[in-house]
Structure 1
Amino acid sequence: MKLTDFHFPDKEIGFGRLLKVMQDHGFIFGEQWDYERATFDLKMPDERDAGTFYLRVPCFTIDGDIPHDETLVKLMTPLLGRHYYPHGVEYGEDEGFPDKIINRSKQKLSAVDEELND
């Protein structure tokens, strides 16, 4: 599910600053990065709905190589996904995301967006 209520797409920022802000908000720098693309993931388990959800913020380089601090990256549209064992994460609009997971995702993204704008 794409979360489009934020100013993330086309926001450009230094990778070092982005990494610090994302880690401060509980996101993990995804291990599947290459020198041009990276993702930041936040795992949100929900025992009541018996599911695990992931909030993903992808980015790609404008100038430089990831993971250098001075590399300029552009953020892309955040995604909310639901994990299905053993197949992986699905990001479709029809995955039946609980309202509390959607709201928590939006709160996290708002906090990140606000800090990136400072």
Structure 2
Amino acid sequence: MYIENTGIESLILDLNTLDDILPQYGLIRAGTWDYERVTYDRKIVLHEHVYYLRVQGEAIEGDVGAQDATIQLKVPILGKHYYPHGIEYGEDENFPKALVSQCKKILDTLYTEIKPLAKKEEVEVEE
């Protein structure tokens, strides 16, 4: 499920800034990157289900592997993990309202912190 209208998708930030700040919100990059893309995940366990709040970005300058990149963030997504197949993000997934609300609060607080640090904002967002 896309969590739209957070403002995050309009921001361009330095990779090192993202690596410093996003873990404070439980969003961990770990090994989920390549030279052009990054993914920060927050694992949320509710009862018998596991969900992931995901913030992704794409390098518009530089190299992620060299820790020297400028990242255009994308629309955050919420997914549900199905063992052993992986995470499903489809609109047909059923997400608890409290979980969606919690994720929106996290993203709102994150946006407030990183917006002043953004290099610039994109007017049009490509998906």
TM (norm. structure 2) is 0.86
CA displacement 1:12-61 (0-9 Å, x = unmatched):
011111111101111110413111001000000001xx211000011010
Is the contact between residue 3 and residue 75 of structure 2 (CA under 8 Å) also seen in structure 1?
Answer: yes
Is the contact between residue 62 and residue 68 of structure 2 (CA under 8 Å) also seen in structure 1?
Answer: yes
CA displacement 1:55-96 (0-9 Å, x = unmatched):
001101011011445421100010100011111100011211
Alignment-derived partner of residue 121 in structure 2: none
Q: Structure 1: which 5+ residue stretches go unaligned?
A: none
Is the contact between residue 30 and residue 38 of structure 1 (CA under 8 Å) also seen in structure 2?
Answer: no
1:47-58 pair list within 5 angstroms: 47=47, 50-58=48-56
Alignment-derived partner of residue 24 in structure 1: 24
Q: Structure 2: which 5+ residue stretches go unaligned?
A: 117-127
Quote the Cα distance in structure 1 between the aligned partners of 2:2 and 2:18. Answer: 20
Quote the Cα distance in structure 2 between the aligned partners of 1:18 and 1:9. Answer: 13
SS of 1:71's partner is: strand
Alignment-derived partner of residue 105 in structure 2: 107
Question: Segments of 4+ in structure 1 off by > 6 A?
Answer: none
Q: Given the alignment of the two structures, is residue 5 of structure 1 paired with residue 8 of structure 2, yes or no?
A: no
SS of 1:94's partner is: coil
Quote the Cα distance in structure 2 between the aligned partners of 1:66 and 1:10. Answer: 19
Alignment-derived partner of residue 124 in structure 2: none
Quote the Cα distance in structure 1 between the aligned partners of 2:65 and 2:31. Answer: 11
Number of matched pairs: 116
SS of 1:44's partner is: strand
Query: What is the CA RMSD across the aligned residues, in angstroms?
Result: 1.3
Q: 1:33 to 1:69 in 2, by over 3 A?
A: closer
